[in-house]
Chain A
Amino acid sequence: DVKVTQSSRYLVKRTGEKVFLECVQDMDHENMFWYRQDPGLGLRLIYFSYDVKMKEKGDIPEGYSVSREKKERFSLILESASTNQTSMYLCASSSVRGRVSYEQYFGPGTRLTVT
């Protein structure tokens, strides 16, 4: 079974803190994604990475950065946490066959509260 793990299920941080969210997948997937999910807004893509050290901005990258130094690990960084970044953060990965990516496998999510 594909397994995507996230470093924390729940996290509480203060405004202005630097926050690291870690994601690890064990299936050698090329693509990895970070989403946030908010009520009424659904899943929104923050960043995605298609290879080590490669990244692309998603729909809402402002206030976030990412790092992918190893294929299995994708980190989301909140440089200076703000209250409007309180949300559920979901990591996902997918494989590439030919030039096409297929289904995404999600981690359990990290519920981040910024106070």
Chain B
Amino acid sequence: SQKIEQNSEALNIQEGKTATLTCNYTNYSPAYLQWYRQDPGRGPVFLLLIRENEKEKRKERLKVTFDTTLKQSLFHITASQPADSATYLCALDITGTASKLTFGTGTRLQVTL
């Protein structure tokens, strides 16, 4: 069956360090992969999209990698801050048109002083 795995355990890191979150998938060949941030009681907010032919994408302190051989995406936040504390969701397009996304359950990041 199709599966997207994100670490369900919270990731606790110290301010200033790099946070790395993992998204693994099986039985998909997604054309796109997206990352979203969700704060408690709010809807997810789009962060980054990476295509299957892109190895890496950056936006300010964020970096996403996409390894279609390993079926894995890594999401990095450099110089992390307490304001980065949130749940981060990865989402895959399995249709090739990005019309419908399948979301992982998310990983909660806690950045402490």
Q: Which residues of A contact B (CB under 8 A)?
A: 4, 31, 33, 35, 40-45, 48, 50, 56, 58, 90, 92, 94, 96, 99-109, 111
B residues lining the A interface (CB < 8 Å): 8, 34, 41-46, 49, 89, 97-106
Which 5 interchain pairs have the tightest Cβ spacing?
A: A106-B43, A42-B105, A103-B46, A43-B103, A101-B98
Shortest C-beta distance, A72 to chain B (Å), equals: 17
Give complex CA distance A92, B45 in Å: 10
Give the shortest distance, in Å, between B36 (CB) and chain A (any CB): 8
Question: Are B100 and A108 in contact, with the CB atoms below 8 A?
Answer: no
Partner of B97, one of A100, A104, A105: A100
Given A42-B104, A109-B41, A109-B42, A99–B49 Cβ distance below 8 Å? no
B43 x A109 contact (CB < 8 A): yes
Please name the residue on chain B nearest to A109 by beta carbon: B43
Which residues of chain A have C-beta atoms less than 8 A from B100's C-beta? 33, 45, 48, 56, 58
Q: Which residues from chain A contact B105 at a C-beta distance below 8 Å?
A: 40-42
Whole-angstrom CA separation of A50 from B97 in the bound complex: 12
Measured between alpha carbons, how far is A102 from B98 in the docked complex, in Å? Answer: 6
Q: What CA separation (Å) do A102 and B43 show in the bound complex?
A: 17
Whether the pair B89, A42 counts as a contact (CB closer than 8 A) is yes
Q: When chains A and B are docked, how far (Å) is the Cα of A100 from the Cα of B99?
A: 7
Closest to B31 in A: A100
